[in-house]
C-alpha cells in the first residue's frame, strides 16, 4: 500500500500578527522617549525662614548680581549699565530676551571672576519655563564658559504674593 506524501503544513501567523498589531500602538502610546536632566538651585532665599532676604544678602555682599523677572522683562541689579532688558514684544515665556540676559550676565561675570552666586527674583506668576531658561542663560556664557552656577531663588517681592 503506497502512502500519500505528507504536505508540509504552513504556519498560520495571522493571529500572532493580529495580536502584535494591537500591542504595538498600545505600547507606542505609553512609551516615553525623553531624556531627563536637572537644574540645581542653591536653596531658596526666603525671608519667611531664618535665611537672609535678598536685600540683606545684597547689602552684605555687593558682588551678588540679581535678576528680577517682571511682567515687562528682566530687571538687573548689582551691575553697571541699563538695568532693564525688555521683552521682545508682548511678554510671554518665549518673548523674554534670554539672549540679551546672557550677554549682560557674561559681561557681569567677567567683572566678577569666580563668583557663582546669582539671585533670581521671580514674580508670583512667573512660569517655571521662564525660571529654568533664566538659569540656563546664567549658567554658561555664549561660548560655553561656566558663569553663575549657583542660582538662589528669592522670595516673591512683597505686594505681589497673593
Partner 1 sequence: MMDMFTILLIYLLYFFDPSNDPLKAVELPGSESKAGEIRGVVVTVGLEQIWLGEEALPMERLGEALALARERNPELPPEQQERLVLKCDRRVAYRRVEEILTAASQAGYTEYRFVVLNEGTQPLNR
**129-136 contacts, C-beta under 8 A, 24 or more apart:** 129/93, 130/69, 130/93, 130/96, 131/69, 132/39, 133/93, 133/96, 133/98, 134/67, 134/69, 134/74, 134/96, 134/98, 134/101, 135/39, 135/41, 136/39, 136/98
**Which is closer to partner 1, CB of 43 or CB of 60?**
43
In this chain, which stretch among 1-9, 36-44, 58-66, 71-79 interacts with partner 1, using CB under 8 A?
A: 36-44
Task: By CB under 8 A, tell whether 145 contacts partner 1.
Answer: no
| Least distance CB 31 / partner 1 (angstroms) | 5
Contact residues toward partner 1 (CB under 8 A) are 13, 16-17, 20-21, 23-24, 27-28, 30-41, 43-44, 46, 48-49, 51, 88, 93-94, 97-99, 102, 122-129, 131-133, 135-137, 139-140, 153, 155-156, 161-162
Amino acid at each position: 500500500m503506497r502512502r500519500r506524501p505528507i504536505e508540509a503544513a504552513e504556519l498560520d501567523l495571522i493571529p500572532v500578527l493580529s495580536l502584535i498589531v494591537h500591542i504595538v500602538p498600545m505600547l507606542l502610546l505609553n512609551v516615553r522617549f525623553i531624556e531627563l536632566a536637572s537644574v540645581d538651585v542653591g536653596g531658596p532665599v526666603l525671608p519667611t525662614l531664618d535665611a537672609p532676604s535678598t536685600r540683606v544678602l545684597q547689602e552684605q555682599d555687593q558682588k551678588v548680581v540679581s535678576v528680577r523677572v517682571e511682567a515687562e522683562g528682566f530687571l538687573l541689579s548689582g551691575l553697571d549699565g541699563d538695568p532693564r532688558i525688555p521683552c521682545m514684544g508682548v511678554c510671554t515665556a518665549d518673548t523674554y530676551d534670554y539672549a540679551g540676559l546672557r550677554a549682560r550676565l557674561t559681561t557681569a561675570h567677567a567683572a566678577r571672576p569666580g563668583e557663582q552666586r546669582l539671585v533670581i527674583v521671580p514674580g508670583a506668576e512667573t512660569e517655571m519655563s521662564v525660571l529654568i531658561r533664566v538659569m540656563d542663560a546664567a549658567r554658561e556664557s555664549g561660548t560655553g564658559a561656566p558663569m553663575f552656577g549657583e542660582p538662589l531663588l528669592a522670595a516673591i517681592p512683597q505686594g505681589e504674593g497673593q
